[in-house]
């Protein structure tokens, strides 16, 4: 029984690495089986259809994000929490052989199963909800300055960070840092100017 549980986890681990390197549509059960030295039938035993494996991958991401939210709650203040959010994405900038899983889900959204789409939407909602709360609390405490509603700014920030990561793959890491620096500049509280 323990062996089967380990095999299931190993399948998911290998599938995740293939997913991050090739995209969801870029690997098959044969790729997983070959890497693990097992038969494709063993992969099908644990995940009968590829959509089952895909949902398991997205649900794994959701569990990781939920754990990250708990850890991040211990950080003090808006800016350390925003930096922690940016760092989630920067991992994939630092290892450019991998693509950010939320970026993959967005790019392949219309080619994945309905069940995967539901899980992907939930992950996106959870990340957006976390950012919205961050901006709402940050503005109430006077740590951040922005126009509009917190959920709108959360959407802009989420899209900016994800977009900066994708663009950096083509034009270089410096563009990511430049984008993030300018994003933060737009969010910093502006001191009132004093007329001379």
DSSP for residue 109: G
Summarised one tens digit per residue, pLDDT across range 43-91 is 999 999 999 999 999 999 999 999 999 999 999 999 999 999 999 999 8
Task: Give residue limits of the domains in the chain.
Answer: 1-48, 56-187
pLDDT reading at 24 higher than 90:
yes
Contacts of 37 (CB under 8 A, 6+ apart): none
CATH of domain 56-187: 1.10.357.10
Name the pTM for this structure. 0.88
Please, what's the b/e burial string for 77-94 (b: 16 or more CB within 10 A of its CB; e: otherwise)? ebeebbeebbebbbebbe
At 175-191, the pLDDT tens digits run 999 999 999 999 986 65
Tokens of 120: 């992907």
For tokens 């190993």, name the residue.
Answer: 10
Task: State pLDDT tens for residues 28-47.
Answer: 999 999 999 999 999 999 99
Q: How confident is the model at residue 99 (pLDDT cuts 50, 70, 90)?
A: confident
Other Cβ atoms within 10 Å of 127 Cβ, number? 21
Task: State residue 142 phi and psi, 5-degree precision.
Answer: 80, 15
Q: If we measure between CA atoms, which residue out of 180, 16, 193 comes closest to residue 98? A: 16
Per the CB < 8 A criterion, the answer to whether 71 and 32 are in contact is no
Q: What is 1-48's CATH superfamily?
A: Homeodomain-like (1.10.10.60)
Which whole-number Å values give the CA distances from 27 to 15, 79, 175, in the listed order?
Answer: 8, 38, 30
Non-local (6+) Cβ contacts of 28 within 8 A are: 50
């Amino acid at each position: 029984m323990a062996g089967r549980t380990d095999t299931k986890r190993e399948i998911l681990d290998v599938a995740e690495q293939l997913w991050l390197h090739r995209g969801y549509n870029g690997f098959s059960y044969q790729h997983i089986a070959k890497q693990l030295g097992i038969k494709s039938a063993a992969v099908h035993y644990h995940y009968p259809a590829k959509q089952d494996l895909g949902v398991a991958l997205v649900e794994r991401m959701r569990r990781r994000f939920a754990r990250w939210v708990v850890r991040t709650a211990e950080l003090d203040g808006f800016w350390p929490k925003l930096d922690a959010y940016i760092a989630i994405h920067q991992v994939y900038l630092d290892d450019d052989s991998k693509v950010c899983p939320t970026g993959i889900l967005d790019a392949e959204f219309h080619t994945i199963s309905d069940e995967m789409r539901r899980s992907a939407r939930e992950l996106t909602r959870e990340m957006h909800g976390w950012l919205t709360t961050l901006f709402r609390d940050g503005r109430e405490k006077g740590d951040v300055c922005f126009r509009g509603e917190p959920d709108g700014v959360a959407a802009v920030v989420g899209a900016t960070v994800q977009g900066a990561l994708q663009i950096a793959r083509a034009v270089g890491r410096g563009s990511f840092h430049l984008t993030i620096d300018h994003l933060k500049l737009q969010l910093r509280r502006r001191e009132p100017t004093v007329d001379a």
